[in-house]
A = this chain, B = another copy of it.
Amino acid sequence: MISNKMIELVQNSSVIRAMFEEGKRLASIYGSENVFDFSLGNPSVEPPEAVKNAVIETVTGESANLVHGYMNNSGYEDVRSTIADSINKKFNTSFTEENIIMTVGAAGGLNVILKTLLNPGDEVITFAPFFGEYRNYVDNYDGELVVVSPNTATFQPNLSEFEKKITDKTKAVIVNTPNNPTGVVYSEETIIALADILNRKQAELKTSIYLISDEPYRELVYGGITVPYLTKYYRNTIVGYSYSKSLSLPGERIGYLVIPGEADAFKDVAAAANVANRILGFVNAPSLIQRVVAKCLDAEVDISVYNRNRELLYNSLIEYGYTCVKPEGAFYLFVKALEEDDKAFSAAAKKYNILIVPGSSFGCPGYFRIAYCVDYKTIEGSLGRFKKLALEYLGK
C-alpha cells in the first residue's frame, strides 16, 4: 500500500536510529549503566541557561500573537537581521535579512535548497564519509548523489577525484565541516583548492555550481582551531546552519540558510527558497524558538565537556591498538574497524553492550563511528570493554 520508494527506505531505515532503539532495549535488560550507547548524535551537554531565560522573556514580554503567529515564510525580519549582524561580526561578512532564511533545522534547510536547485537527474557531489541522509535529501528531488571516495589518511576531501567527477550535470556540492562522522575540520588550504576547482569548472562548463556548506558542528571545535567561513572563499556558497549542537536544541528544529547576494541568480534562489520552505510543508521555522535563538547568539554550550570525552576516549583507543585520525571538531570519532567487515565488527561490539555505527552507513566501509556526546562515566565504563574487544582481535 505504501510507495515503492518508501518500502525500500523503511527496510534500510537508518541504522543509526535502529541502534538507538536497540540501546533502549538493552538498557531495559541490563540496566542503562551497563549499556554503552555511542550511536546517536544527541547532545549530552545541557542548553545554556540563556535559552531558558530567553524562552520565559519571550512568552512573558512579547505579544502572544507575534510570538506564535505566522510571519514571512523566510522567518521574522528582526530575527533574520539580528542573525545577519551576528554572522557579519564573527566572520567579517556583509549579510542582511535578505540573505537569511530561517529553516526547520539544517535538515529542513538542505531540503529547501535542494528543492530550489535540482531538476530530475541533476548531480550533487559529496565526499565520503558523509551523513547518510544526504542520499535521501537528494533523492527527494530526483537528483543523483555522486560520492567522492574517502581519503582515509587524513579524511580531508579527495580533490583530484572530485575534479574528475564534476560534469555539466553537477548542480551542487555538499560539504560538512567539522565533519560527521570523522570530526575532521577541512583546512583552509583544502577550501582554497576546492574553490579553485569549482571556479575553473564553472568557467569551463559555463554552469553555476553551488557549494552547500552543512554546518551544524561549526562551534564544536577544540584547541582553538578556526573553521573557514566558506562564503568568503567561493561566491556560490550557500550555508545551512543549525542550532542543534551549538545550543543543544536538536529537538527544536531551528536553523537557517545563508544565500549571499553575490551568488549567481541570488534573487531567484532566495525567492524560490522562500516558496520551497512553504510548499514542502515546513511553512516557516518554529516561531517561538526563532525569537529565542536570536536572543542567544552569544551563548555557548560547554564544549569542554565534549573535549574531555574526546581526549579520554581517543587516547585510550589508541593505547588499545585502534587507529583513528584525531578529530578537531564535532563529537565523533571515526575509527578503523579491527576486521574488514564493519557491520560484523559492530555486531561484535554489541556483545560487549557497546553500540557503534558501521562506517558503511557513511559511505566508508571498514570504519565505525563513536558519538561521544555522552556522560563521562559512560566513556569511563566503556573503556574496559573496548580493550577486551581489541584483545579479541589483536591478541594481547
Q: How big is chain A's contact interface, by range? A: 35 or more
| 1/0 contact string of A1-14 vs chain B (CB within 8 Å) | 11111110110011
Q: Encode A96-122 as 1/0 by CB contact (under 8 A) with B.
A: 000000001101111110011111001
| Contacts of A256-313 to chain B: CB distance below 8 A | 264-265, 268-269, 271-272, 275-276, 278-289
Given contact pairs A70-B40, A104-B282, A275 touches B9 in the complex (Cβ within 8 A): yes
Cβ of B65 and Cβ of A43 under 8 Å apart? yes
Residues in A150-172 with C-beta less than 8 Å from chain B: none
Contacting A68 at CB < 8 Å: which of B250, B265, B279, B284?
A: B250
Asked if A47 CB lies within 8 Å of chain B CBs, one says: yes
Q: Name the contact of A10 in the complex, choosing from B70, B107, B275 (C-beta under 8 A).
A: B275
Nearest Cβ in chain B — how far from A75, in angstroms? 10
Say how far A58's CB is from chain B's closest CB, in angstroms.
Answer: 9
> Is the pair B281, A104 in contact by a Cβ cutoff of 8 Å?
yes
Known interface pairs A108-B281, A282-B108, A286-B286. Does A2 touch B272 (Cβ–Cβ under 8 Å)? yes
Q: A394: CB under 8 A from chain B? A: no
- CB-CB under 8 A from A271, the residues of chain B are 10, 13
Segment with Cβ contacts to B, from A134-142, A182-190, A331-339: A134-142
Q: Cβ of A280 and Cβ of B2 under 8 Å apart?
A: no
Contact with B along A78-110 (1 / 0, CB 8 A): 000000000000000000000000001101111
Given contacts A248-B65, A272-B9, A288-B55, whether A283 and B253 have CB atoms under 8 Å apart is yes
Look across to chain B and name the residue whose beta carbon is closest to the beta carbon of A251: B287
Q: Is the CB of B289 within 8 A of A286?
A: yes
Bound-state CA distance A65–B44 (Å) is 7
| Given A10-B271, A51-B68, A280-B280, 4 other A-B residues pairs in contact with their CB atoms under 8 A | A14-B275, A55-B56, A104-B104, A253-B287
Give the contacts of A13-47 with B (CB-CB under 8 A): 13-14, 17, 40, 42-44, 46-47
Q: Among B208, B268, B276, B287, which residue has its beta carbon within 8 angstroms of that of A252? A: B287
Query: Which residues from B are CB-within-8-Å of A47?
Result: 64-65, 68
B-side contacts of A112, CB under 8 Å: 281
Task: Knowing A104-B282, A278-B14 are in contact, say whether A65-B46 is a contact too (CB < 8 A).
Answer: yes
A284's closest neighbor in chain B, by CB?
Answer: B251
Enumerate chain B residues within 8 angstroms of A65, measured Cβ to Cβ. Answer: 43-44, 46-47, 248
A-B contact pairs, 29 of them (CB 8 A): A1-B117, A1-B208, A1-B268, A2-B117, A2-B265, A2-B272, A3-B272, A4-B119, A5-B119, A6-B272, A7-B268, A9-B275, A10-B268, A13-B275, A42-B70, A46-B64, A46-B65, A47-B65, A64-B248, A104-B104, A107-B283, A108-B283, A133-B278, A140-B280, A251-B286, A253-B282, A253-B285, A280-B280, A286-B289
Query: Measuring CB to CB, which residues of chain A are less than 8 angstroms from any residue of chain B?
Result: 1-7, 9-10, 13-14, 17, 40, 42-44, 46-47, 51-52, 55-56, 59-60, 64-65, 67-71, 73, 104-105, 107-112, 115-119, 122, 133, 136-137, 140-141, 208, 248-254, 264-265, 268-269, 271-272, 275-276, 278-289
Closest to A139 in B: B279
The secondary structure that dominates the A interface is: helix
Identify the 6 closest CB pairs spanning chains A and B, nearest first: A251-B287, A111-B281, A1-B265, A136-B279, A107-B281, A6-B272
Set B56, B69, B285: member contacting A56, Cβ < 8 A: B56
A114 CB to nearest chain B CB (Å): 9
Across the interface, do A286 and B2 meet the contact criterion of CB distance under 8 Å? Answer: no
